[in-house]
């Protein structure tokens, strides 16, 4: 068989193999191999032709390989970043610095976001696990072995450190950080560490988070906190987080309550099975009562956008904390909340669509304030999506996508104001995610999410 004929046969086989690579997801290596074979076959088939044809064949071969890579490949989205080092965790950030905690030595570093250069260094004296929470934009709280400390983000200096006993950090309103244990709740001034007030009882909810099912979680920001009664039948007490003064005492029938705005909102049921919400004012105003229909399936009671929210599979119901006015927000196009693949206590939730066999065939992120889907830019077929981290009004999503030949990559997006404001992607291997103020730690790398 003449070389030209053989080369044309090889070229045809390579093209067929390339098509099968896409259909059967043989992977990136097989795709590159078929492109290379096709390119070589094209050159061999025209090698004894006129010089112009040979040159054209070489150019065409290069174009085939380049086009094959560009058309199929989902390129990684990179951001300027730097290595954080082993055993370190991102715990706070502002627009200039990222603060890292070494989980073994408990060294604390302030490093420039731009290049990772060390700006300041401190340490926290604890022999056990150290927890941390950012306090606003200028300080970070460290806690461990009954010791609490506040460190300035600007210069790394310790503002104060003191023994807080068996109490753990619970919430802050910006000026006061609240610690709570089984028997006592204490308000401490952020700037000085001065104990401002103490109240008998355990904090069980705040005005910046979910209803009272997990009292030992950190509530990002609260102007009011709820103290559990000393028995199941005892009323709960709502305190002003700044002063520790009692704002209201409420006899509740369940743990289905939130504190939104300046109202304590308790959820119950009418005789007909509709949801019944009752609002108790905490700083002036009138009590209110309202009904709304709940959907079948799961329910989450939260505070989002300053309002009480009841989240269901295909809708969110918002209640104005001052009047009880109900606003129902359906999630567009009958997308439903994915309760098992990421957080759902914030404004943004992972949603899904299923086929007739109840298999998930589409993933997205929905804004529960508007009901609209967030436009997550980027190429590739989505095969998984989750909310990796969230606060009341921001979220970081992780989308796993595959290109036409089956190669996977993970795309991370920072979402706020109803839109994607920065993203990056990595080869498909799920990594630990930490975030603060638009700065993200993926594994041991610190990156700034940005528009691409």
Tokens of residue 253, six digits: 């029938």
> 62 pLDDT exceeds 90?
no
Nearest-angstrom CA–CA distance, 18 and 111: 47
Determine the pLDDT at residue 309.
93
Q: What is the DSSP code (8-state) at residue 268?
A: E
Relative to beta strand 419-427, strand 348-354 is unpaired
d(CA 374, CA 382): 14
Rounded to 10°, the helix 51-72/28-45 angle is 170
Distance between CA 203 and CA 186 in Å, rounded? 10
CB 344 within 8 A of CB 337: yes
How far apart are the C-alpha atoms of 6 and 42, rounded to whole Å?
11
pTM for this model (two decimals)? 0.80
Average pLDDT, the chain: 82
Q: What is the pLDDT of residue 451?
A: 46
Of the chain, the percentage scoring pLDDT greater than 90 comes to 36
Band of residue 316 on the pLDDT scale cut at 50, 70, 90: very high
In this structure, what token pair is assigned to residue 72? 């199929």
Q: Which residues contact 36 (CB under 8 A, 6 or more apart)?
A: 65
* pLDDT digit string, tens, across residues 133-166: 998 888 999 998 889 999 999 999 999 999 998 8
Question: 278 or 233: which carries more pLDDT confidence?
Answer: 278
Distant-in-sequence, close-in-space partners of 358: CB < 8 Å, separation ≥ 6: none
The torsion angle over the Cα atoms of residues 425, 431, 434 and 437, rounded to 10 degrees, is 0
Which of 295, 30, 292, 296 is CA-nearest to residue 307?
292
pLDDT tens string 185-237: 999 999 999 999 999 988 888 876 555 555 556 777 889 999 887 777 788 89
Helix, strand, or coil (residue 101): strand
Over its C-alpha atoms, the chain yields an Rg (Å, rounded) of 28
**Range with lowest mean pLDDT among 106-115, 356-365, 406-415:** 406-415
Q: 3-state DSSP call for residue 191?
A: coil
Contact 184, 178 (CB under 8 A): no
Report the alpha-carbon angle 426-432-438, nearest 5: 75
- pLDDT band for position 72 (50/70/90)? low
DSSP summary character for residue 366: E
Q: Long-range contacts of range 152-157, CB-CB < 8 Å, 24 or more positions apart?
A: 153/92, 153/94, 153/97, 153/99, 153/110, 154/97, 155/110, 155/120, 156/108, 156/109, 156/110, 156/119, 156/120, 156/121, 156/122, 157/122
Domain ranges of the chain: 3-72, 341-452
**Dist. CA 360–CA 279, nearest whole Å:** 39
DSSP assignment of 108-166 equals EEEEETTT--EEEEEE---SS--EEEEETTTEEEEEETTEEEEEETTT--EEEEEE-TT
Give the other-Cβ count within 10 Å of 200's Cβ: 10
């Amino acid at each position: 068989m003449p070389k030209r004929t053989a080369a044309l046969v090889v070229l045809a086989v390579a093209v067929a193999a390339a098509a099968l690579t896409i259909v059967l997801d043989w992977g990136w290596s097989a795709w590159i191999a078929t492109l290379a074979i096709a390119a070589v076959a094209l050159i061999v088939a025209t090698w004894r032709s006129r010089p112009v044809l040979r040159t054209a064949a070489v150019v065409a071969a290069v174009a085939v390989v380049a086009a094959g890579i560009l058309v199929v490949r989902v390129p990684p989205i990179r951001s300027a970043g730097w290595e954080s080092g082993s055993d370190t965790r991102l715990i706070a950030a502002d627009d200039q610095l990222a603060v890292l905690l070494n989980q073994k030595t408990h060294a604390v570093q302030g490093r420039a976001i731009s290049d990772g250069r060390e700006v300041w260094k401190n340490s926290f004296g604890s022999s056990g696990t150290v927890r941390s929470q950012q306090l606003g934009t200028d300080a970070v709280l460290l806690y461990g072995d009954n010791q609490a400390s506040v460190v300035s983000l600007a210069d790394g200096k310790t503002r104060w450190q003191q023994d807080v006993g068996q109490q753990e950090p619970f919430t802050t309103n910006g000026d006061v950080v609240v610690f709570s244990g089984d028997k006592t709740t204490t308000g401490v001034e952020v700037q000085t560490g001065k104990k401002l007030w103490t109240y008998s009882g355990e904090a069980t909810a705040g005005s910046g988070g979910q209803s009272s099912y997990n009292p030992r979680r950190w509530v990002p920001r609260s102007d009011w906190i709820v103290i559990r009664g000393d028995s199941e039948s005892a009323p709960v007490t709502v305190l002003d987080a700044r002063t520790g003064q009692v704002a209201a005492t409420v006899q509740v029938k369940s743990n289905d309550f939130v504190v939104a705005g300046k109202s304590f909102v308790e959820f119950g049921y009418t005789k007909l099975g509709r949801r019944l919400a009752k609002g108790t004012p905490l700083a002036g105003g009138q009590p209110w009562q309202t009904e709304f229909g709940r959907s079948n399936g799961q329910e989450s009671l939260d505070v989002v956008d300053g309002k009480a929210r009841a989240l269901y599979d295909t809708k969110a119901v918002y209640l104005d904390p001052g009047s009880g006015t109900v606003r129902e927000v359906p999630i567009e196009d009958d997308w439903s909340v994915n309760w098992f693949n990421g957080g759902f206590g914030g404004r943004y939730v992972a949603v899904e669509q299923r086929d007739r066999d109840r298999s998930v065939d589409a993933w997205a992120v929905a804004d529960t304030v508007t009901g609209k889907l967030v436009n997550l830019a980027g190429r590739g077929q989505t095969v998984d999506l989750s909310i990796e981290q969230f606060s009341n009004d921001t979220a970081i999503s992780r989308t796993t996508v595959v290109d036409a030949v089956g190669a996977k990559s993970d795309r991370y997006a920072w979402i706020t104001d109803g839109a994607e404001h920065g993203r990056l992607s990595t080869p498909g291997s799920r990594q630990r995610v930490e975030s603060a103020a638009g700065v993200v730690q993926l594994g041991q790398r610190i990156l700034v999410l940005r528009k691409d």
